Amino acid sequence: MPSSHPADPHHFRRRGVLFVLSSPSGAGKSTIARKLLADEPELAMSVSATTRSMRPGEVDGKDYHFVDLEEFRRMVAADEFLEWAHVFDHRYGTPRAQVEAMLAAGKDVLFDIDWQGAQQLFQIAGGDVVRVFIFPPSMEELRARLTNRATDSSAVIEARMARAANEVSHWDGYDYVLVNDDVEQCFQGVKTILAAERLKRSRQTGLIGFIRKLTRTS
């Protein structure tokens, strides 16, 4: 994705990182994403559009852009999504314009999207995309977390458990995998991945000027 990124300890320009976090729901991805955003001022969250209904506590425009099926279809037809997919009988998509604006503003972008989204984003933006998958420590623990969350009915929880197995089976479409048995440890792992990816030579598009100066002979 064409963009450059001014934020760097040495002020080299670099390409923005498209940082994808995927996991079965309940594996702690939202907590990790929240901590990461609080800790990383150069990282902005991509807010998806979805046709699912709002859960208690969610805010339209912050957690998701909640749209009806007609509006979602309009957005698909107008090519307004970078990627979109069916998840749990609903549609979810990443609006293209906000991501482009974030990259243009020099931000890295965080995506909480499923494996289908990660795959599509990788098709479009290849080397700019970093895909991280978070495993729950066990399926029993995942069920306990979904149940304790108390936002979904038991039928929805069962559907999420069934989908979790499917989601996990796509682990090999990711660059990094982590187990979230300790949120702080997992968070530190994710931070380390982001830090290392920011330093990749292939992202440092502004290096050449520095190298020329460094190697200039008088």
- Which member of 113, 132, 164, 178 binds ligand 5GP (CB under 6 A)? 113
Residues 47 and 63 sit within 8 Å (Cβ to Cβ)? yes
Residue 50: how many other CB atoms lie within 10 Å: 20
Task: State the Cα–Cα distance between residues 42 and 104, nearest whole angstrom.
Answer: 12
Of 85 and 168, nearer to ligand 5GP (C-beta) is 85
- Decide: is 28 part of the binding site for ligand 5GP (CB under 6 A): no
The distance of closest approach from Cβ of residue 200 to ligand 5GP in the complex, given in angstroms and rounded to an integer, is 25
Whose Cβ is closer to ligand 5GP: residue 108's or residue 114's? Answer: 114
Minimum distance of ligand 5GP from residue 7's CB (angstroms): 25
d(CA 209, CA 161): 52
Among 45, 87, 129, 142, binds ligand 5GP (CB under 6 A): 87
| Number of neighbours of residue 186 by Cβ within 10 angstroms | 22
Question: 127-138 burial string, b = 16+ CB within 10 Å, else e?
Answer: ebbbbbbbbbee
> Which one of 3, 48, 51, 204 is in contact with ligand 5GP (CB under 6 A)?
48
Pick from 16, 117, 136, 189 the residue near ligand 5GP by CB under 6 A.
Answer: 117
Asked if residue 94 binds ligand 5GP (CB under 6 A), the reply is yes
**Considering the complex, what minimum distance in angstroms separates the CB of residue 48 from ligand 5GP?**
3
Q: Which residues bind ligand 5GP (CB under 6 A)?
A: 22, 25, 48, 52, 83, 85, 87, 92-94, 112-114, 116-117
